[in-house]
Chains A and B, each alone.
Chain A
Amino acid sequence: MVNFLIRRLIIAILVAITVSIVGFALLRFSGDLAALLAGENATQEDIARIAKSYGLDLPIYQQYFNWVISALQGDLGKSLFTHEPVAELILSRLGVTATLAFSALALGLLIAIPLGVLAAVKANTWVDRSALVFSVAGQATPNFWFALILIYVFGVWWRQASVLGYKLSELSIFGMQLSGLPISGSATWQHFIMPVLTLATTIVPALMRLTRTGMIEVLSSDYVRTARAKGLSQRSVLFKHSLRNAILPVVSLAAVQLGFLLGGSVIVETIFALNGVGFLAIRSIERIDFPVVQSILVCLACTYIFLTLLSDIINAKLDPRVRLS
């Protein structure tokens, strides 16, 4: 168990380092950052001056090492525009994004697992087929579109003065908010209903189908037949003996999905004007605020790596066979 953990940890760290290099390089190689920052009418001298002041004139490996060394000391640099420390910018918005992602994951699992179990138990009946149609449709729905439909449905059909915490006037100008000032972070729990619903919808289909496939496989396994031959109750057969085994791959997928939700919150935070990390990311991307962008990129990647590591540990806990190997 300890060996297993150490090996996984080493690989995770190596992957994290590689990802940071790739992320860093991608930003540097996709365009001339200094020229972009200087603007269209800038002269060569302007560009050179900007490159020098932001350290962009150094060789790329040197830029990377400088950044890594200060990052390891907790200094992720400063925003080019607000001049606030990047770490502070991210940390202050982490709560919103984490709340969003974890609530969406919880809601998603709460819908997906029972639905997947039901579809597996009723395999090839109309229940199963409806669940499948639902999941195919869910997978094909662009989440920004779904979010707008939610706003429309709540706002217009129900004729409410405010849409679950959003004033209609606030919504009608949200197109402007991208280029406007940061929104105050005074989000109430109601503000999270629609965003969480939107995000949960994006992860339910995959989780549900995996639960269904796993359950169908497990339900036809020898040990479930044994459980039935023992005269155990339907509930015990389904949940104690089947789901516990079928859930193993779902745990791994859930970790991946959580990472995806953190990244995918960009769209939802933008539409619902939640001042989280995703919103910070897109504003920084638009302004070529590269110290912020690269930090968010690497932080999200590391979170993802950490989550997969966590899911491996949970899997090892759930499956005694993994513990020994």
Chain B
Amino acid sequence: MTLADITSAPPASMAKAADEFATLAPSPRELMRRRAKSHIGFLTGMAIILFFIILAVFAPLLAPHDPYDQNLTARLLDPVWGPKGTWAHIFGTDAFGRDILSRLMYGARLSLMIGFTAAAIAGVIGVTLGIVGGYFGGRVDAVVVYLTNVKLALPVILVALSIASISGGSIIVLILVLGLLTWDRYAVVVRSLTQQFRDQEFVLSSLAAGASHARIIFREILPNLTNQIIVVASLDMAIIILIEAALSFLGLGVRPPTPSWGLMVAEARAVMFFKPHLIMIPGAAIFLLVIAINMAGDGIRDVTSPEGRG
């Protein structure tokens, strides 16, 4: 076919007909935005997360009381809907007379902070290992797979409990431990995606053009992994929040009197048959935040790759 064949204009009638069939194709980003706007799960999840973030960030301004402030004359007060409830303590008070709502807000701070930082640490470890293993393959990959297997074999809750116990309940240690114990999912996902990308044309052509491995990893591969990493990170954050709550519940995570949701449930156990709201409220907070994060994560997955549902 000569150049003239290609560039010569088709008959007017044909062009008109072609126009009729042509539809406006939106860009992938625009499509994503559209899908996000109509994804109820994603929107709900994000709204709830945002709500918790606002509570957490502005806790000192929003909280009606000091979360540590004990008041032995106002112990185990009913919530506002209870028989003797007052608006002064909307969710009532605990066995030490501390305001539940205020503790809940500061608890959100702790959960989000631990969840976010630990998930970030896990992300850095997991993504690094996954990319290195997937990209270089061979022995490097074998080491990554081996490390992942070792990590998977460690019983997460027990290791976290032991370390938290021995190290004496420091929140920083807790974050480090949770980060070190949950990177496997990132590594597995990133590794298999990197393997797929490695042999694709855009990577091969960069290699052929003489790009360094570092440049290919950071410029070609990593940007293509962002969506998937965000999805894994959301799942990981949800899991970390649950583990933190469980550790604190068992009394070996966040130590009293720090307001942590898991700890609040634990502290309410003794009175759960008389004041069930004391376990229901903090438990529901954990449930709501985790479900919101999962919904947002599922939403991001649906929005970024609608074919990969399930």
A and B in contact, CB less than 8 Å: yes
- Chain A interface residues toward B at CB < 8 A: 11, 14-16, 18-19, 22-23, 26-27, 30-31, 33, 36, 136-137, 139-145, 148-149, 151-152, 155-156, 168, 172, 174-175, 178, 209, 212-213, 216, 256, 259, 262-264, 266-267, 270, 281-282, 285-286, 288, 293, 296-297, 300-302, 304-305, 308
Residues of B at under 8 Å CB distance from A? Answer: 146, 149-150, 152-159, 161-163, 165-168, 173, 238, 242, 245-246, 249-252, 262, 265-266, 269-270, 272-273, 276, 279-280, 283, 286-288, 290-291, 294-295, 298, 310
Residue picked from B167, B246, B295, most chain A C-beta under 10 Å: B246
A14→B157 contact, CB < 8 A: no
Give chain B residues whose Cβ lies under 8 Å from the Cβ of A267: 157, 246, 249-250
Q: State whether B246 touches A26 (Cβ < 8 A).
A: no
Instruction: Enumerate the 9 nearest inter-chain pairs by beta-carbon distance, A residue then B residue, closest first.
Output: A263-B155, A145-B283, A213-B310, A140-B291, A31-B166, A140-B290, A30-B166, A30-B163, A300-B155
Give A31's nearest chain B residue, CB to CB.
B166
Report Cα–Cα, A267/B244, bound state, in Å.
Answer: 12
- What separation, in Å, do the CA atoms of A213 and B307 have in the docked complex? 12
In angstroms, how far is the closest chain B Cβ from the Cβ of A198? 12
Check A297 against B161 for contact (C-beta < 8 Å): no
Cα–Cα, bound, A263→B181 (Å): 14
Across the interface, do B246 and A144 meet the contact criterion of CB distance under 8 Å? yes
Output the least CB separation between B300 and chain A (Å): 14
Chain A residues contacting B280 (CB-CB under 8 Å) are 149
Please tell me if the beta carbons of A282 and B294 are within 8 angstroms of each other in the complex. no
A27 CB, min distance to chain B CBs, angstroms: 6
Q: Are A304 and B165 interface neighbours, CB within 8 A?
A: no
Given A136, A216, A297, A304, which contacts B162 in the complex, CB threshold below 8 Å?
A297
Smallest Cβ distance from A309 to chain B, in angstroms?
Answer: 11
Chain A residues positioned under 8 Å from B265 (CB to CB): 142, 144-145, 148
What residues of chain A lie closer than 8 Å to B153, measured between beta carbons? Answer: 15-16, 19, 259, 301-302, 304-305
Which of A31, A139, A142 is B283 in contact with, Cβ under 8 Å?
A: A142
Answer whether A281 and B272 are a contact pair too, CB < 8 Å, given A136-B298, A142-B245. no
Which residues of A sit under 8 angstroms from B250, Cβ to Cβ? 144, 266-267, 270, 282
Query: What residue in chain A is nearest B145 (Cβ atoms)?
Result: A11
- 29 pairs, CB–CB < 8 Å, chain A vs chain B: A11-B146, A16-B153, A19-B153, A22-B150, A23-B159, A27-B162, A30-B166, A142-B283, A144-B249, A145-B283, A148-B269, A149-B279, A149-B280, A152-B276, A155-B273, A172-B273, A175-B266, A175-B270, A213-B310, A262-B155, A266-B161, A266-B250, A270-B250, A288-B165, A297-B154, A297-B158, A300-B155, A304-B155, A308-B152
